[in-house]
Homo-oligomer: A and B are copies of this chain.
């Protein structure tokens, strides 16, 4: 799809006047990355806003002790970097391609100009940020009240919701070890916890393929330990 046709389909660019869309179209080129390459490193002098068109992106952060935290894994329609709009020093992060990628990369200066000039765009961005805030709050909640096994179950349920699947089989979107860190646990713990939830909730796991036979059991196992009610589609995206 051409950029000119793509831009208007993106929620962040909704309801913008033609001339602004045109600016975007000129400015935002699609960038391609190979799996494994580093996309962004916030020690870079130039900051960017990144919008994922296609593929998976690992967002991580270095810890003083030498380890690494996974903050998020982005997919189609996700984005990151709007916090660079803050005048105060922003928290650092790395972005890395964990699959082949198609991205929009928008320099922060351009975004800042737009935010100052166009009210509708600012509203869109505010909306985006508020949604992200909700998502983060829910993740915090899960980290503090759910067990490793439940977090895996929750992740699987969301995969189902997004793909609008009922009881079917599907593949995990990326490495198990990466998923483990994403969910705040070790790879070994993930492995054991997945085995456990398969047994408890009638899942079948074969390599990176999962088959859900009784989604209601999964919901029962997971969603008791959450403030939301299944399916929580609006919040998690």
Contact of A228 with B91 in the complex, beta carbons under 8 Å: yes
Name the CB-closest residue of B to A63: B227
Contact of B226 with A140 in the complex, beta carbons under 8 Å: no
Contact of B224 with A65 in the complex, beta carbons under 8 Å: yes
Contact of A225 with B91 in the complex, beta carbons under 8 Å: no
* Residue A115 lies at the interface, judged by CB distance under 8 Å to chain B: yes
Chain A interface, DSSP helix/strand/loop, else mixed: helix
Q: CB-CB < 8 A to A64: which residues of B?
A: 223-227, 229
Interface residues on A, range: 35 or more
Contact of A132 with B133 in the complex, beta carbons under 8 Å: yes
CA distance A138 to B136 in the complex (A): 10
* Residue A90 lies at the interface, judged by CB distance under 8 Å to chain B: yes
Given contacts A71-B141, A115-B126, A129-B126, contact A134 B226 (CB under 8 A): no
How many copies, total? 2
With beta carbons under 8 angstroms apart, the residue of B133, B226, B229 that contacts A136 is: B133
Top-10 shortest CB links A-B: A144-B184, A136-B136, A143-B143, A88-B234, A61-B227, A129-B129, A65-B224, A126-B126, A122-B122, A64-B224
With beta carbons under 8 angstroms apart, the residue of B62, B71, B122, B130 that contacts A86 is: B130
CA distance A64 to B184 in the complex (A): 22
Q: CB-CB < 8 A to A99: which residues of B?
A: none
Interface set, chain A 27-72, CB cutoff 8 A to B:
61-65, 67, 69, 71
